[in-house]
Amino acid sequence: MKQPDASQFHDLTFKSVLDALPCHLSIQDANLNILFGNQTFINDFGNGIGKSCYSVFHGTEHKCNECPVQKTFADKQVHVAEETILLKNGESVQMIVYSAPLFDIFGRVSAVIKILTNVNLIKEAQKELVTIGQSFALLTHDIKNMLEGLEGGAYVVDEGLKDRDWELTAKGWRIVSKNVAGISRVTQDVLFSSKKRAPEFQSVKPSEVAHQAVELFHEKAGTLEIQLNSQLNPSLPYTTLDAPSMIRMLSNLIWNALEACDKDDQKPSHSVIVRADFYDKNHFMFEIEDNADGMDETTQKNLFEEFYSTKGDNGTGLGLLVVDRIVRNHKGKIEVLTKAGTGSLFRTIFKI
């Protein structure tokens, strides 16, 4: 077998190899002073040679309680720890700290080599995994409830048919329809919030988009005996928008408003108004206003948190998360006005 030709690497110095490592490498003495740092170290911590590691890595004048370097000096073993490290630009980063002994000719630990590896991205991924796990459990629970509702509705329909009781049959069918719509909505929200979907930007009239969204809910509003009105300014100009996303956003807000009205038993009648109008000469707004029960302070604070819902078994909390994501994708803004016992108004603002 042909031996590899190493002659081309003869000019490389040991230091240049250490400098090229994509991790922070330093060598420390028994007083925890830094004797050497590679280029990556210097880039992120400045010239810390001669300074203590705790001042350079943690910005403190006190030794750390669980110091892997001290442990290595004590037991001559390799130690690994996870620490929050402060970079010279003020950023805090999660790092894996690896310490290994450097021995002299008598087998004593003369220095310790310390390698720091940035694991921020891995930590983010871990957090995502935890969120996905929680989401899956919550969604499964909600879908189970809706399926049970579906079974209950089907049972009522069966009983109605058996007894030729058309009123009971209609009641059962309403339960079935409600739960089918719920499952459909949850599924669409899950798909929307989990898939990386490329936006389909096109020139559309915001009032047309709002009209399409409102059209989807006339039947539901009628069934719930809620007035669904729209005030759409036709003079809003063509604007570049991802129309399917906008319809999704408006649908979620209209759905929430209708559900809130349906839940509120304090008023004799309910209405939901959808508006599309100029916000100012360079921006337009959509408004969805209801006269349901409004929101208390806690609900307002948690509105756009993942999986926060006030609808109990009838909501996953995904709807507003999807709204928030769509607004952010369009570099827009959400404003909420609400008063407990009075109603709510959701306003989204976008550039024309």
What residues line the site for another protein (CB under 8 A)?
277-280, 283, 285, 331-333, 335, 337-339, 342-343, 345, 347, 349-351
Least Å distance, CB 333 to another protein, is: 4
Give the separation between CA 261 and CA 243, rounded to whole angstroms.
27
Specify the residue for token string 């048919």.
Answer: 161
Question: Token pair for residue 182?
Answer: 């719920």
Nearest of 53, 63, 121 to residue 93 by alpha carbon: 121
The helix-helix angle for 120-162 and 166-194 (nearest 10°) equals: 170
Of 104 and 297, nearer to another protein (C-beta) is 297
The answer to whether the beta carbons of residues 109 and 72 sit under 8 Å apart is: yes
Is 310 or 338 the residue whose CB approaches another protein more closely?
338
Our CB check for another protein shows the closer of 69 and 334 to be 334
Asked if 248 and 322 touch (Cβ cutoff 8 Å), the reply is yes
Q: Closest approach of Cβ 329 to another protein, in Å?
A: 12
Q: Which residues fall within 8 angstroms of residue 212, CB to CB, at 6 or more apart?
A: 247
Dist. CA 288–CA 294, nearest whole Å: 13
Least Å distance between CB 209 and another protein? Answer: 18
**Residue placing its CB nearer to another protein in the complex, 34 or 334:** 334
For residue 332, what are the CA distances in angstroms to 94, 201, 249? 32, 14, 12
Q: How far is the CB of 346 from another protein (least distance, A)?
A: 12
Which one, 5 or 297, has the nearer CB to another protein? 297
Q: How far is the CB of 279 from another protein (least distance, A)?
A: 6
| Closest approach of another protein to the CB of residue 350, in Å | 7
Nearest residue (CB) to another protein, 277 versus 306: 277
Residues 6+ apart with CB under 8 A from 107: none
To 10 degrees, what angle do helices 243-263 and 318-329 make?
Answer: 150
